[in-house]
Every structure is written in C-alpha cells, then in structure tokens.
Amino acid sequence: MQPRTGGRPATPRLILATRNAGKVSELRAILEAADLDVELVGADAYPDIPDVKETGVTFAENALLKAHALARATGHPAVADDSGLCVDVLGGAPGIFSARWAGTHGDDRANLSLLLAQLADISDEHRAAHFACAAALALPDGTQRVVEGKLEGTLRHAPSGTGGFGYDPILQPLGDTRTCAELTPNEKNAISHRGQAFRALAPVVRELLG
C-alpha cells in the first residue's frame, strides 16, 4: 500500500532500467496516455547502482534480471526491457546477441556488416526477420510480469536511411517500402517492438501499482 499524503495515496515511483533519456520519455508518454499517475525515472537517478550483466538466454530472462535487481536495490517497482533482431534463416539469431554480434558490444556498424555478409547469398524470399522486445515489471516483493512486442519485416541487402540505430537501416517493416531507419521517430514508435511492449505494459502497471 502506498503511503498517504493529505488523505491521498502518494504517487508511486517507477524506475526504468536505462540511462537513455529518450527511452524514459517514450515510456512516460505511454503511461500518461493511459492516464496513469506514476513518477517515472531512469536508472541515472541512482548512479551508485551498477548495471546488471545480461546472463539470460532469452529476452524475457534478461529483462527480468535487470528489473528485479533494480527493484531490490531501490525498494521501488522497476521496469526493464531487452530486445534484438531475430532472423528466420539463422534460426532466430542474432537474438540476445544482437548488440555484440561482431564481438564488441554496441558496435552497430560492425554488427550490421557481419550480418549482411552472412546473408549475402540469401534471396529476398528467405530474408524474413523481426525485432523482438520483452519488457518486465518487477516489484520489491518479487512479483513480476513480462510482456512482449514484435515488429515483423524483411532484411534489405544494403543499409538505407540515417535514423534509428542498430539494425534499423536494414529491416523493412511488412507493409512499408522504407527501412526503420527511414521512418520518422513518431512513425517508428507507433509500430516498434519496444513501443508495442511498453504499451502492453501500461495495464500491468495499473494492475500492480493501482
């Protein structure tokens, strides 16, 4: 139960396991659109808490690891997400290894170049892929929920577009003629795997935080 101030429950604080201000703003807008009175802050509000190693073997496991660690460390409910690119012909890879596919974490250009080289001889009809995201909400008492989002598409043979990051320049969403890197930020947020997961999280926040 939330402590009361002046007869009303205090606004619950929710922590998002990221230091990316854009991601915090995205989830905050979704929660506001759902008419949820929650104080959302990023992990940078707790600079002494170290980042959690993503040792899970699924997106959901990694999201839960981060959410539980942050909830335990702060005593507040926490949200975390994990996402990546899953290529059908590669059996779902790079998957959880998307950010370090070429060996160095976060080297977008190297990851992209390696993946394109691996798929160089794959024809268009076999280049199906999707972005996947798992978003987890964990409470300090151990309660947890996980929701997921997915953006289906096909992979281009060469990058196109300057927006976004990661594999955005080569994934063309189904029903569109542009890559994710050619969409405006609003267009991308409306269909993205993370946007879908965050929107699915809003009723979970309402259920658990009231």
User: Is 123 marked as a binding-site residue?
Assistant: no
User: Is 179 marked as a binding-site residue?
Assistant: no
Q: Is the dihedral of CA 39, 41, 46, 51 positive or negative?
A: positive
User: Is 44 marked as a binding-site residue?
Assistant: no
User: Is 20 marked as a binding-site residue?
Assistant: yes
Length of the chain: 210
Among the listed residues 37, 44, 48, 82, the single catalytic one is 82
Q: Which long-range contacts (CB under 8 A, 24 or more apart) does 111-115 make?
A: 111/166, 111/167, 112/159, 112/166, 112/167, 112/169, 112/170, 115/85, 115/87, 115/167, 115/170
Q: Which of 95, 89, 196, 104 is nearest to 147 (CA)?
A: 196
User: Is 19 marked as a binding-site residue?
Assistant: yes
User: Is 46 marked as a binding-site residue?
Assistant: no
How far are the Cα atoms of 15, 28, 51, 126 from residue 45, in angstroms, in the given order? Answer: 9, 15, 13, 44
User: Is 165 marked as a binding-site residue?
Assistant: yes
Side-chain-side CA neighbours of residue 79 (13 Å) = 31
User: Is 197 marked as a binding-site residue?
Assistant: no
Q: Mapping DSSP to helix (H, G, I), strand (E, B) and coil, where does residue 209 land?
A: helix
User: Is 18 marked as a binding-site residue?
Assistant: yes
User: Is 21 marked as a binding-site residue?
Assistant: yes
Task: For residue 144, report the phi and psi dihedrals to the nearest 5 degrees.
Answer: -145, 150
User: Is 53 marked as a binding-site residue?
Assistant: no
82 is an active site residue: yes
User: Is 83 marked as a binding-site residue?
Assistant: yes
Q: What are the tokens at 60?
A: 């959901």
Binding-site residues for Mg(2+)? 82
Cite the annotated binding site by residue number. Answer: 18-23, 82-83, 165-168, 188, 193-194
Please enumerate, by residue number, every residue annotated as part of a binding site for substrate. Answer: 18-23, 83, 165-168, 188, 193-194
* Active site positions, annotated: 82
